[in-house]
Amino acid sequence: MPERTGDQLRIGVAITVPEPWSTALREARARYGDPLAEFIPPHVTLLGPTVVEPGLVAEVDEHLAQAAARHAPFVVRLHGTATFRPVSPVVFVPLVEGADGCAALERSVRTGVLDQRLRFDYHPHVTVAHEVPDEQLDAAAAGLARFEASFVVRELHTYLHGDDGVWRPVRDFALGGDGVDVPADGADAGAVRPT
C-alpha cells in the first residue's frame, strides 16, 4: 500500500462486481476468514492503490472519462477459483471471458496522469482470500470451485481509501466506443452458484 502524506488521497480504479454476485463474494471472503472482506468491495482491479495530490483529482477524472469512452461495454464471466501461490498467498475467481476487455481498459487507465510501472504483469481477477493461513486459502479454493457469474461491464469506478481502511466508490465513468459487445437483447446475463 503506497504511503500518503498531508492531504494526499489514496485511490484505486476498478470494475465493481454487481449484485447479487458482490454480496455472495463478500460473504464468501468473510466466511474464509479474510479480515479485508468488509473493507474491499468485490472488484476487478484496473489500477491498484495510487496516491494523488488533491489538485490532480479533476485531471484524473477527466483522464478516466476519456479512457472509459474509448472502450465499448463487454461481458465478464467469472468461473471457479485459482491462486497466485506460491508467489502470493491469494485465492481468486478468474475471468474466463472478458479478460481482454479488462486488459485493454487497464492499459488505457494506466497512462497520462496515472502512468506507472507494474510490479507484476496485469492479470484480471476477483480476490476471495488474501494473506490468510493455507488451510483457509485451501477452503476458499474448494468452496468457490463451482462459482459462476456473468455480467456486462458498462462502467469503471474510482475508489477512495478512507482513514478507516474502507475502500469506497467515488465516481462512475461510462464506457462508450463503437461495436458494443453485449448480449443481443441488451440484458445482463448471469448465474451464480456460491457454494
CATH number of 54's domain: 3.90.1140.10
Q: Give the full edge-to-edge strand order of the sheet including 155-161.
A: 43-52, 9-16, 155-161, 167-174
- Mean pLDDT of all residues in 118-143: 93
- Mean pLDDT of all residues in 139-165: 95
Q: Could you report how far apart the first and last alpha carbons of the chain are, in Å?
A: 31
Note the pLDDT of residue 167: 96
Segment holding 130, helix H or strand E: strand 125-130
Q: Is residue 151 part of a domain?
A: yes
Note the pLDDT of residue 8: 93
Q: Is residue 195 part of a domain?
A: no
Buried (b) or exposed (e) across 29-43, using 16+ Cβ within 10 A? Answer: bebbebebbeebbbb
Average pLDDT, the chain: 89
Q: Residue 190: which pLDDT band, with cuts at 50, 70 and 90?
A: very low
Q: Is residue 169 part of a domain?
A: yes
In whole angstroms, what is the distance from residue 73 CA to residue 183 CA? 10
In whole angstroms, what is the distance from residue 15 CA to residue 102 CA? 8
> pTM, whole model, 2 decimals?
0.88
Whether the per-residue pLDDT at 194 is higher than 70: the answer is: no
Say how many domains are in the chain.
Answer: 1
Buried (b) or exposed (e) across 53-88, using 16+ Cβ within 10 A? Answer: eeeebeebeebbeebbeebbbbbbbbbebebeeeee
Q: Is residue 69 part of a domain?
A: yes
| Residue from 190, 193, 159 nearest 75 by CA | 190
67 lies in which domain range?
9-174
C-alpha dist (Å) from residue 122 to 9, 68, 100: 23, 18, 11
Q: Is residue 193 part of a domain?
A: no
Q: Is residue 1 part of a domain?
A: no
Q: Is residue 50 part of a domain?
A: yes
Q: Is residue 187 part of a domain?
A: no
